[in-house]
Amino acid sequence: MSFAPILDNLPLQKSQLLHRFADLISPRSDAELEALAQEAHALSLRNFGRTMRLFAPLYLSNECINNCRYCGFSRDNPILRVTLSLEQVVAEGRHLAREGFRQILLVAGEHPKFISQNYLVDCVRALAPDFSSISIEVGPMETADYVPIVQAGAEGLVVYQETYDREIYSELHTSGPKRNFNWRLDCAERGYKAGFRRLGIGALFGLSRWQEEALGLAAHVEYLLKHCWQAQITVSLPRLRPAAGEFHPAFSMTDRELAQLICAFRISFPEVGIVLSTRERAALRDALAPLGVTMMSAGSHTEPGGYTRQGSDDLHRTVRGKIVAPEFENGEDMLATGQFEISDERSPAEVASVLRRRGFEPVWKDWDAGLVPS
């Protein structure tokens, strides 16, 4: 069984839950939206209390063999690239640990030569003493390839489908293995079979009509809840941000629509985690938090080495995938290029303090291997 036929049949056949979800994301008056917000808030309190998990992305590499029109790391973009050495990864990790983080997400572009299974295993092993929860967001792999990474200590797998619209997916992913829509779609299940106990999925809002994208994502959540029931499922609802390559989103999603979507996910899937990243600006993140958000990144950098300026001696530029000497343009910072621009630039401590003031308990660590009976 795979999610693909269910997704393809979605226009003709929806579960009751998905009919309800579609209704929740249909146009609403201000009064109706306020009622949804209150329901979502009450459900969040019941299921998660006043907690907010804080995590940080740690970018390992911005090498990539794919061309995704919306992403700064695309192979053909002439950007400054680097893959951090193990020592550099540990230095970045130590910095994040000093800031209080115990949950990190290791992020890298897709490049089997630089971001190999062995490299990921080594990174996870080296970071495990400092972090209670390590997740990865890298190019999709086979189940057997994930197993050693899980055994090394990674517990979460994050893979966004980007868009659930096959036609748009094909237009946006112009070259590289990512063109295979179904291979990506089944990735979370392969990860589950390998032993990941947290699965994160998401769509990139701005690539297609947001309501249709949301429905595809909701159907995927419903499917994973049934088929990967021992894992904790989280959804991310990122909106496109400016990035190298200057892609302009064809579709928009307003702040109000994003708020409504968070409410719809919370009401339809009360136990599913909802992630909100620093792509969104500070004031909006603060306002959205009570609606159902359970996990936030803070103080993020999307360039490898961005926290402690690691890797600047190993930088190179690529032009259509070919490595050229890194001549720096006037005023250019000697740092690898980031994946996209950040909106909320507050430090982790500031984010935690605002959360506390608003009645939340920031959670830096919610899991300890020592809690599991051996």
Of 36, 40, 57, 66, which one interacts with ligand SF4 (CB under 6 A)? 66
Nearest CB to ligand SF4, comparing residues 109 and 206: 109
Instruction: Number of residues interacting with ligand SF4: please give it, by CB under 6 A.
Output: 9
Closest contact distance (angstroms) between CB of 312 and ligand SF4 is 20
The secondary structure of the chain, three-state, reads: CCHHHHHHCCCCCCCHHHHHHHHHCCCCCHHHHHHHHHHHHHHHHHHHCCEEEEEEEEEEECCCCCEECCCCCCCCCCCEECECCHHHHHHHHHHHHHCCCCEEEEEECCCCCCCCHHHHHHHHHHHHHHCCEEEEECCCCCHHHHHHHHHHCCCEEECCCECCCHHHHHHHEEECHHHCHHHHHCHHHHHHHHCCCEEEEEECECCCCHHHHHHHHHHHHHHHHHHCCCCEEEEECCECCCCCCCCCCCCCCCHHHHHHHHHHHHHHCCCCEEEECCCCCHHHHHHHHHHCCCEEECCCCCCCCCCCCCCHHHCEEEECCEEECCCCCCCCCCCCCCCCCCCCCCCHHHHHHHHHHCCCEEECCCCCHHHCCC
Q: By CB under 6 A, is residue 201 in contact with ligand SF4?
A: no
Nearest CB to ligand SF4, comparing residues 66 and 88: 66
Closest contact distance (angstroms) between CB of 354 and ligand SF4 is 30
Closest contact distance (angstroms) between CB of 311 and ligand SF4 is 17
The 8 Å CB, 24+ separation contacts for 145-151 are: 145/117, 146/190, 146/191, 146/194, 146/195, 146/196, 147/194, 147/195, 148/117, 148/121, 149/117, 149/120, 149/121, 149/124, 149/194, 150/194, 150/195, 150/196, 151/195
Give the closest residue to 220 by CA, choosing from 61, 12, 17.
17
Nearest CB to ligand SF4, comparing residues 171 and 366: 171
Q: By CB under 6 A, is residue 303 in contact with ligand SF4?
A: no
Region binding ligand SF4 by CB under 6 A among candidate stretches 64-72, 150-158, 187-195, 209-217 = 64-72
- The DSSP bridge partners found for residue 273 are 234
Of 54, 56, 58, 64, which one interacts with ligand SF4 (CB under 6 A)? 64
Region binding ligand SF4 by CB under 6 A among candidate stretches 25-33, 34-42, 69-77, 206-214 = 69-77
Q: By CB under 6 A, is residue 178 in contact with ligand SF4?
A: yes
Nearest CB to ligand SF4, comparing residues 104 and 204: 204
**Hey, which residues between 100 and 159 contact ligand SF4 (CB under 6 A)?**
109-110
The contact mask relative to ligand SF4 for 259-298 (x = CB under 6 A, - = no) is: ----------------------------------------
Nearest CB to ligand SF4, comparing residues 260 and 339: 339
Nearest CB to ligand SF4, comparing residues 178 and 285: 178
Nearest CB to ligand SF4, comparing residues 97 and 237: 237
Nearest CB to ligand SF4, comparing residues 48 and 340: 340
The contact mask relative to ligand SF4 for 70-99 (x = CB under 6 A, - = no) is: -x-xx-------------------------
**Hey, which residues between 308 and 347 contact ligand SF4 (CB under 6 A)?**
none
Question: How is residue 358 written in tokens?
Answer: 């608003």
Region binding ligand SF4 by CB under 6 A among candidate stretches 67-75, 143-151, 216-224, 341-349 = 67-75
Closest contact distance (angstroms) between CB of 73 and ligand SF4 is 4
Interacting residue ranges for ligand SF4, rule: CB under 6 A: 64, 66, 68, 71, 73-74, 109-110, 178
